[in-house]
Protein backbone atom coordinates (compact mmCIF):
# COMPACT_ATOMS: atom_id res chain seq x y z
CA UNK A 1 0.00 0.00 0.00
CA UNK A 2 2.94 2.38 0.50
CA UNK A 3 3.69 4.92 -2.20
CA UNK A 4 0.18 5.97 -3.28
CA UNK A 5 -0.26 9.08 -5.42
CA UNK A 6 -2.99 11.61 -6.04
CA UNK A 7 -3.27 15.05 -7.60
CA UNK A 8 -4.60 16.38 -4.31
CA UNK A 9 -4.74 14.90 -0.84
CA UNK A 10 -7.22 16.34 1.64
CA UNK A 11 -6.55 15.93 5.37
CA UNK A 12 -9.90 15.63 7.11
CA UNK A 13 -13.30 14.33 6.00
CA UNK A 14 -15.66 16.72 7.73
CA UNK A 15 -18.06 18.82 5.67
CA UNK A 16 -15.26 21.17 4.58
CA UNK A 17 -12.84 18.45 3.46
CA UNK A 18 -15.52 16.37 1.76
CA UNK A 19 -17.09 19.31 -0.09
CA UNK A 20 -13.67 20.50 -1.27
CA UNK A 21 -12.77 17.00 -2.46
CA UNK A 22 -16.09 16.70 -4.27
CA UNK A 23 -15.62 20.06 -6.04
CA UNK A 24 -12.08 19.16 -7.09
CA UNK A 25 -13.16 15.76 -8.38
CA UNK A 26 -15.85 17.48 -10.45
CA UNK A 27 -13.01 19.37 -12.17
CA UNK A 28 -11.42 16.06 -13.14
CA UNK A 29 -8.80 16.18 -10.42
CA UNK A 30 -7.75 12.94 -8.74
CA UNK A 31 -8.39 13.40 -5.01
CA UNK A 32 -7.65 11.31 -1.93
CA UNK A 33 -9.23 12.20 1.45
CA UNK A 34 -7.76 10.84 4.71
CA UNK A 35 -9.67 10.70 7.97
CA UNK A 36 -9.80 7.94 10.62
CA UNK A 37 -13.55 8.52 11.11
CA UNK A 38 -15.04 10.39 8.14
CA UNK A 39 -17.97 12.66 8.87
CA UNK A 40 -18.31 11.81 12.55
CA UNK A 41 -16.87 14.76 14.43
CA UNK A 42 -17.94 18.41 14.56
CA UNK A 43 -19.88 18.14 11.28
CA UNK A 44 -22.21 15.60 12.82
CA UNK A 45 -22.68 17.41 16.12
CA UNK A 46 -23.52 20.84 14.67
CA UNK A 47 -27.07 22.17 14.54
CA UNK A 48 -26.68 23.46 10.98
CA UNK A 49 -27.82 27.07 11.17
CA UNK A 50 -27.11 29.23 8.13
CA UNK A 51 -27.29 32.50 10.01
CA UNK A 52 -24.99 35.19 8.62
CA UNK A 53 -27.53 37.89 9.47
CA UNK A 54 -28.91 36.60 12.78
CA UNK A 55 -25.44 35.94 14.13
CA UNK A 56 -23.61 38.95 12.70
CA UNK A 57 -21.03 40.33 15.11
CA UNK A 58 -19.99 43.97 15.33
CA UNK A 59 -16.89 44.68 13.24
CA UNK A 60 -16.62 41.37 11.39
CA UNK A 61 -17.37 42.79 7.93
CA UNK A 62 -15.11 40.52 5.90
CA UNK A 63 -16.54 37.47 7.59
CA UNK A 64 -20.08 38.76 6.97
CA UNK A 65 -19.32 39.10 3.24
CA UNK A 66 -18.00 35.52 3.15
CA UNK A 67 -20.97 34.24 5.14
CA UNK A 68 -23.48 36.00 2.87
CA UNK A 69 -21.75 34.65 -0.23
CA UNK A 70 -21.98 31.15 1.23
CA UNK A 71 -25.62 31.30 2.25
CA UNK A 72 -26.30 32.50 -1.31
CA UNK A 73 -24.31 29.56 -2.66
CA UNK A 74 -26.12 26.94 -0.58
CA UNK A 75 -29.22 26.43 -2.80
CA UNK A 76 -27.27 25.56 -5.97
CA UNK A 77 -24.69 23.62 -3.94
CA UNK A 78 -27.48 21.61 -2.31
CA UNK A 79 -29.22 20.99 -5.63
CA UNK A 80 -26.03 19.72 -7.27
CA UNK A 81 -25.13 17.65 -4.24
CA UNK A 82 -28.56 16.07 -4.16
CA UNK A 83 -28.23 15.24 -7.87
CA UNK A 84 -24.79 13.73 -7.42
CA UNK A 85 -25.58 11.77 -4.28
CA UNK A 86 -29.15 10.76 -4.93
CA UNK A 87 -30.09 11.65 -1.34
CA UNK A 88 -31.23 14.94 0.21
CA UNK A 89 -28.56 17.52 0.97
CA UNK A 90 -30.60 18.75 3.93
CA UNK A 91 -31.15 22.42 3.06
CA UNK A 92 -34.30 23.94 4.61
CA UNK A 93 -35.07 27.50 3.48
CA UNK A 94 -37.41 28.42 6.28
CA UNK A 95 -36.06 31.77 7.46
CA UNK A 96 -35.04 32.53 11.03
CA UNK A 97 -36.84 34.28 13.85
CA UNK A 98 -34.63 35.96 16.43
CA UNK A 99 -36.53 36.55 19.68
CA UNK A 100 -35.90 38.33 22.94
CA UNK A 101 -37.29 37.42 26.34
CA UNK A 102 -36.91 40.14 28.95
CA UNK A 103 -36.42 43.90 28.61
CA UNK A 104 -32.63 43.69 28.47
CA UNK A 105 -32.79 40.92 25.87
CA UNK A 106 -35.15 43.09 23.79
CA UNK A 107 -32.83 46.09 24.00
CA UNK A 108 -29.89 44.02 22.81
CA UNK A 109 -31.95 42.60 19.96
CA UNK A 110 -33.05 46.10 18.87
CA UNK A 111 -29.45 47.31 18.83
CA UNK A 112 -28.49 44.33 16.71
CA UNK A 113 -31.40 45.00 14.32
CA UNK A 114 -30.21 48.61 13.91
CA UNK A 115 -26.74 47.37 13.06
CA UNK A 116 -28.15 44.79 10.65
CA UNK A 117 -30.14 47.52 8.86
CA UNK A 118 -27.09 49.80 8.65
CA UNK A 119 -25.30 46.93 6.93
CA UNK A 120 -28.16 46.75 4.44
CA UNK A 121 -29.33 43.33 5.65
CA UNK A 122 -32.96 42.28 5.32
CA UNK A 123 -34.58 42.21 8.76
CA UNK A 124 -38.06 42.98 10.05
CA UNK A 125 -38.72 43.94 13.66
CA UNK A 126 -41.68 42.25 15.31
CA UNK A 127 -43.59 42.68 18.55
CA UNK A 128 -43.97 39.78 20.96
CA UNK A 129 -47.45 39.16 19.58
CA UNK A 130 -46.21 39.21 15.98
CA UNK A 131 -43.45 36.79 16.92
CA UNK A 132 -46.02 34.40 18.38
CA UNK A 133 -48.12 34.75 15.22
CA UNK A 134 -45.18 33.28 13.32
CA UNK A 135 -44.40 30.72 16.02
CA UNK A 136 -47.49 30.10 18.16
CA UNK A 137 -45.74 27.89 20.71
CA UNK A 138 -43.32 30.60 21.81
CA UNK A 139 -43.68 31.66 25.44
CA UNK A 140 -46.02 34.49 26.40
CA UNK A 141 -42.94 36.13 27.90
CA UNK A 142 -41.27 36.58 24.50
CA UNK A 143 -41.26 40.37 24.24
CA UNK A 144 -40.10 40.96 20.70
CA UNK A 145 -38.46 39.53 17.64
CA UNK A 146 -36.61 40.12 14.40
CA UNK A 147 -37.61 38.20 11.31
CA UNK A 148 -34.66 37.29 9.09
CA UNK A 149 -36.01 35.81 5.86
CA UNK A 150 -32.60 34.96 4.40
CA UNK A 151 -31.16 32.87 7.28
CA UNK A 152 -31.87 29.18 6.87
CA UNK A 153 -30.72 25.80 8.16
CA UNK A 154 -29.18 22.58 6.93
CA UNK A 155 -29.65 19.12 8.36
CA UNK A 156 -25.90 18.68 8.68
CA UNK A 157 -26.18 14.92 9.15
CA UNK A 158 -28.00 14.64 5.83
CA UNK A 159 -25.34 16.88 4.25
CA UNK A 160 -22.56 14.65 5.59
CA UNK A 161 -24.28 11.54 4.27
CA UNK A 162 -24.83 13.17 0.89
CA UNK A 163 -21.22 14.32 0.63
CA UNK A 164 -19.89 10.88 1.55
CA UNK A 165 -22.02 9.45 -1.29
CA UNK A 166 -21.06 12.23 -3.69
CA UNK A 167 -17.31 11.83 -3.20
CA UNK A 168 -17.70 8.10 -3.67
CA UNK A 169 -19.57 8.38 -6.96
CA UNK A 170 -17.19 11.06 -8.23
CA UNK A 171 -14.19 8.81 -7.83
CA UNK A 172 -12.57 10.32 -4.75
CA UNK A 173 -10.47 7.86 -2.74
CA UNK A 174 -11.40 7.87 0.95
CA UNK A 175 -8.75 6.40 3.27
CA UNK A 176 -9.84 5.74 6.85
CA UNK A 177 -6.52 6.52 8.46
CA UNK A 178 -5.18 9.42 10.46
CA UNK A 179 -2.53 11.55 8.79
CA UNK A 180 0.62 11.37 10.90
CA UNK A 181 2.50 14.13 9.09
CA UNK A 182 2.83 16.23 6.01
CA UNK A 183 5.79 15.18 3.86
CA UNK A 184 7.93 18.06 2.65
CA UNK A 185 10.71 18.40 0.15
CA UNK A 186 12.62 21.58 0.93
CA UNK A 187 9.92 24.22 1.45
CA UNK A 188 7.25 22.31 -0.46
CA UNK A 189 4.61 19.89 0.80
CA UNK A 190 4.62 16.84 -1.44
CA UNK A 191 2.20 14.54 0.29
CA UNK A 192 1.26 12.99 3.63
CA UNK A 193 2.28 10.03 5.70
CA UNK A 194 -0.46 8.02 7.37
CA UNK A 195 -0.40 6.58 10.85
CA UNK A 196 -0.17 3.08 9.35
CA UNK A 197 3.10 4.08 7.67
CA UNK A 198 1.73 4.44 4.15
CA UNK A 199 2.53 7.62 2.31
CA UNK A 200 0.55 9.45 -0.35
CA UNK A 201 2.40 11.69 -2.75
CA UNK A 202 0.42 14.59 -4.12
CA UNK A 203 1.03 17.87 -5.89
CA UNK A 204 -1.26 19.62 -3.43
CA UNK A 205 -2.13 19.01 0.21
CA UNK A 206 -5.24 20.60 1.74
CA UNK A 207 -5.43 20.89 5.52
CA UNK A 208 -9.09 20.56 6.50
CA UNK A 209 -8.75 18.90 9.87
CA UNK A 210 -10.88 21.39 11.80
CA UNK A 211 -9.77 21.72 15.46
CA UNK A 212 -6.87 19.33 14.83
CA UNK A 213 -5.44 21.46 11.99
CA UNK A 214 -2.82 23.10 14.18
CA UNK A 215 -1.33 19.73 15.07
CA UNK A 216 -0.13 18.56 11.65
CA UNK A 217 3.43 17.34 12.07
CA UNK A 218 5.72 18.21 9.23
CA UNK A 219 4.30 21.73 8.98
CA UNK A 220 6.80 24.20 10.48
CA UNK A 221 5.55 25.41 13.84
CA UNK A 222 5.32 29.06 12.76
CA UNK A 223 3.11 28.15 9.78
CA UNK A 224 0.56 26.14 11.73
CA UNK A 225 -2.80 27.89 12.00
CA UNK A 226 -3.78 29.09 15.50
CA UNK A 227 -6.83 26.87 15.65
CA UNK A 228 -8.11 25.80 19.08
CA UNK A 229 -11.04 23.56 20.05
CA UNK A 230 -14.14 25.19 21.57
CA UNK A 231 -16.55 22.60 22.85
CA UNK A 232 -20.23 22.92 22.04
CA UNK A 233 -22.94 20.75 23.54
CA UNK A 234 -26.06 20.16 21.48
CA UNK A 235 -29.33 18.39 22.29
CA UNK A 236 -31.60 16.59 19.89
CA UNK A 237 -35.23 16.49 21.00
CA UNK A 238 -38.14 14.68 19.44
CA UNK A 239 -41.50 16.41 19.06
CA UNK A 240 -44.38 13.95 19.51
CA UNK A 241 -46.90 13.86 16.65
CA UNK A 242 -49.50 15.63 18.77
CA UNK A 243 -47.37 18.76 19.16
CA UNK A 244 -45.94 18.99 15.64
CA UNK A 245 -44.61 21.19 14.37
CA UNK A 246 -43.47 22.76 17.60
CA UNK A 247 -41.58 25.27 15.44
CA UNK A 248 -41.56 25.91 11.70
CA UNK A 249 -38.59 28.31 11.52
CA UNK A 250 -35.21 28.37 13.16
CA UNK A 251 -35.52 30.34 16.40
CA UNK A 252 -32.53 32.19 17.79
CA UNK A 253 -33.34 33.44 21.28
CA UNK A 254 -31.82 35.59 23.94
CA UNK A 255 -33.36 34.59 27.25
CA UNK A 256 -32.28 36.49 30.37
CA UNK A 257 -28.96 37.24 28.73
CA UNK A 258 -28.31 33.69 27.57
CA UNK A 259 -28.26 32.65 23.91
CA UNK A 260 -29.94 29.53 22.65
CA UNK A 261 -31.11 28.38 19.25
CA UNK A 262 -33.73 25.87 18.26
CA UNK A 263 -33.58 24.37 14.79
CA UNK A 264 -36.59 22.31 13.70
CA UNK A 265 -36.24 19.53 11.15
CA UNK A 266 -39.01 17.97 9.09
CA UNK A 267 -39.90 14.72 10.83
CA UNK A 268 -40.10 16.10 14.33
CA UNK A 269 -36.48 16.58 15.37
CA UNK A 270 -35.66 19.79 17.21
CA UNK A 271 -31.98 20.61 17.64
CA UNK A 272 -31.07 22.83 20.59
CA UNK A 273 -27.65 24.44 20.78
CA UNK A 274 -25.12 25.29 21.84
CA UNK A 275 -22.84 25.78 24.78
CA UNK A 276 -19.35 27.16 24.38
CA UNK A 277 -16.55 25.86 26.60
CA UNK A 278 -12.78 26.02 26.31
CA UNK A 279 -11.63 22.74 27.83
CA UNK A 280 -9.25 21.45 25.16
CA UNK A 281 -10.05 18.27 23.28
CA UNK A 282 -12.75 17.23 25.70
CA UNK A 283 -16.05 16.02 24.25
CA UNK A 284 -17.72 14.98 27.50
CA UNK A 285 -21.31 16.17 27.74
CA UNK A 286 -21.46 18.01 31.06
CA UNK A 287 -24.56 18.24 33.22
CA UNK A 288 -24.16 22.02 33.43
CA UNK A 289 -24.22 22.36 29.65
CA UNK A 290 -27.35 20.26 29.28
CA UNK A 291 -28.97 22.18 32.12
CA UNK A 292 -28.24 25.56 30.50
CA UNK A 293 -29.60 24.48 27.12
CA UNK A 294 -32.80 23.08 28.63
CA UNK A 295 -33.27 26.11 30.89
CA UNK A 296 -33.04 28.55 28.00
CA UNK A 297 -35.01 26.44 25.52
CA UNK A 298 -37.95 25.99 27.91
CA UNK A 299 -37.92 29.69 28.77
CA UNK A 300 -38.74 30.63 25.18
CA UNK A 301 -40.52 27.41 24.15
CA UNK A 302 -42.33 25.93 27.16
CA UNK A 303 -43.40 22.80 25.28
CA UNK A 304 -39.72 21.80 25.43
CA UNK A 305 -40.52 20.04 28.72
CA UNK A 306 -42.79 17.60 26.89
CA UNK A 307 -40.29 16.65 24.20
CA UNK A 308 -38.18 13.51 24.33
CA UNK A 309 -34.49 14.04 24.93
CA UNK A 310 -33.05 11.77 22.26
CA UNK A 311 -29.41 12.78 22.28
CA UNK A 312 -26.94 14.98 24.11
CA UNK A 313 -23.64 15.29 22.27
CA UNK A 314 -20.61 17.54 22.21
CA UNK A 315 -18.29 18.56 19.39
CA UNK A 316 -15.26 20.77 18.97
CA UNK A 317 -15.45 23.96 16.94
CA UNK A 318 -12.18 24.99 15.28
CA UNK A 319 -11.82 28.53 16.63
CA UNK A 320 -9.29 31.16 15.61
CA UNK A 321 -8.20 34.41 17.28
CA UNK A 322 -10.54 36.54 15.11
CA UNK A 323 -13.38 34.00 14.76
CA UNK A 324 -12.83 33.81 10.99
CA UNK A 325 -11.60 30.82 8.98
CA UNK A 326 -8.15 30.15 7.62
CA UNK A 327 -8.25 29.76 3.84
CA UNK A 328 -5.72 29.37 1.06
CA UNK A 329 -1.92 29.37 0.90
CA UNK A 330 -0.20 28.33 4.11
CA UNK A 331 3.26 29.74 3.51
CA UNK A 332 4.45 26.22 2.71
CA UNK A 333 4.25 25.61 -1.04
CA UNK A 334 1.83 22.85 -1.91
CA UNK A 335 -0.20 23.21 1.32
CA UNK A 336 -3.52 25.07 1.41
CA UNK A 337 -5.65 25.58 4.52
CA UNK A 338 -9.39 25.13 4.63
CA UNK A 339 -9.97 25.23 8.37
CA UNK A 340 -10.79 27.37 11.40
CA UNK A 341 -14.49 27.74 10.57
CA UNK A 342 -15.44 28.02 14.24
CA UNK A 343 -19.24 28.42 14.46
CA UNK A 344 -19.75 28.68 10.69
CA UNK A 345 -18.58 25.37 9.29
CA UNK A 346 -21.90 24.23 7.85
CA UNK A 347 -22.66 27.71 6.54
CA UNK A 348 -19.25 28.15 4.91
CA UNK A 349 -19.05 24.72 3.30
CA UNK A 350 -20.07 25.73 -0.25
CA UNK A 351 -17.98 28.90 -0.48
CA UNK A 352 -14.94 27.24 1.08
CA UNK A 353 -15.07 24.35 -1.37
CA UNK A 354 -15.47 26.82 -4.23
CA UNK A 355 -12.58 29.08 -3.09
CA UNK A 356 -10.18 26.21 -2.47
CA UNK A 357 -11.08 24.41 -5.72
CA UNK A 358 -10.49 27.62 -7.65
CA UNK A 359 -7.17 28.16 -5.88
CA UNK A 360 -6.04 24.66 -6.82
CA UNK A 361 -7.17 25.13 -10.42
CA UNK A 362 -5.75 28.64 -11.01
CA UNK A 363 -3.02 28.87 -8.43
CA UNK A 364 -4.57 32.12 -7.21
CA UNK A 365 -6.74 32.65 -4.11
CA UNK A 366 -9.98 34.43 -5.16
CA UNK A 367 -10.56 37.95 -3.83
CA UNK A 368 -13.26 36.79 -1.39
CA UNK A 369 -10.77 34.51 0.35
CA UNK A 370 -7.93 36.99 0.74
CA UNK A 371 -8.90 38.37 4.17
CA UNK A 372 -8.62 34.85 5.54
CA UNK A 373 -5.02 33.93 4.83
CA UNK A 374 -3.18 32.30 7.72
CA UNK A 375 -0.51 34.97 7.42
CA UNK A 376 -2.81 37.55 9.04
CA UNK A 377 -2.07 36.13 12.48
CA UNK A 378 1.73 36.30 12.23
CA UNK A 379 1.63 39.75 10.55
CA UNK A 380 0.19 41.52 13.59
Residues 6+ apart with CB under 8 A from 293: 233, 234, 235, 260, 272, 273, 274, 275
Instruction: Rank residues 165 and 295 by Cβ distance to a copy of itself and give the closer one.
Output: 295
Does the footprint of a copy of itself cover residue 242 (CB under 8 A)? no
Part of the chain binding a copy of itself (CB under 8 A), chosen from 59-67, 101-109, 222-230, 286-294: 286-294
Residues 6+ apart with CB under 8 A from 35: 11, 12, 13, 14, 17, 174, 175, 176, 178
Does the footprint of a copy of itself cover residue 295 (CB under 8 A)? yes
Part of the chain binding a copy of itself (CB under 8 A), chosen from 68-76, 84-92, 230-238, 317-325: 230-238
Instruction: Rank residues 63 and 247 by Cβ distance to a copy of itself and give the closer one.
Output: 247
Instruction: Rank residues 175 and 303 by Cβ distance to a copy of itself and give the closer one.
Output: 303
Does the footprint of a copy of itself cover residue 313 (CB under 8 A)? no
Give CA–CA dist 356/346, Å, rounded. 16
- Rounded to a whole number of angstroms, the minimum distance from the CB of residue 303 to a copy of itself is 9
Does the footprint of a copy of itself cover residue 286 (CB under 8 A)? yes
Q: φ, ψ for residue 153 (rounded to 5)?
A: -150, 160
Give CA–CA dist 361/29, Å, rounded. 9
Instruction: Rank residues 115 and 258 by Cβ distance to a copy of itself and give the closer one.
Output: 258
Does the footprint of a copy of itself cover residue 309 (CB under 8 A)? yes
SS3 179: strand
Which of these, 346, 313, 300, 289, lies nearest to 237 by C-alpha position? Answer: 313
Give CA–CA dist 340/191, Å, rounded. 21
From candidates 107, 223, 312, 368, binder to a copy of itself by CB under 8 A: 312
Residues 6+ apart with CB under 8 A from 329: 335, 336, 337, 359, 365, 373, 374
Instruction: Rank residues 256 and 284 by Cβ distance to a copy of itself and give the closer one.
Output: 284
Name the site residues for a copy of itself (rule: CB under 8 A). Answer: 235, 237-238, 284-288, 290-291, 294-295, 297-298, 304-309, 312
Amino acid sequence: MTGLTADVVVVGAGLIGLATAWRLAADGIQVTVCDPTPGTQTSTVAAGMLAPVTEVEYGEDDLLALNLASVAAWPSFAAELQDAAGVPAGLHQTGTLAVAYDVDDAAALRRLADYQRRLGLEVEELSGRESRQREPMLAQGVSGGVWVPGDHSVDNRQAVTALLRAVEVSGVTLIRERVARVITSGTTAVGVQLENGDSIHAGQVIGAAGPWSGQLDGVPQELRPPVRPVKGEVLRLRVPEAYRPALTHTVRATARGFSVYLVPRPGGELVVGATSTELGYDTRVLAGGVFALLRDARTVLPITDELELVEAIAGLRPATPDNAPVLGPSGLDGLLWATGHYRNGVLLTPITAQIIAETVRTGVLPELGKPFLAGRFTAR
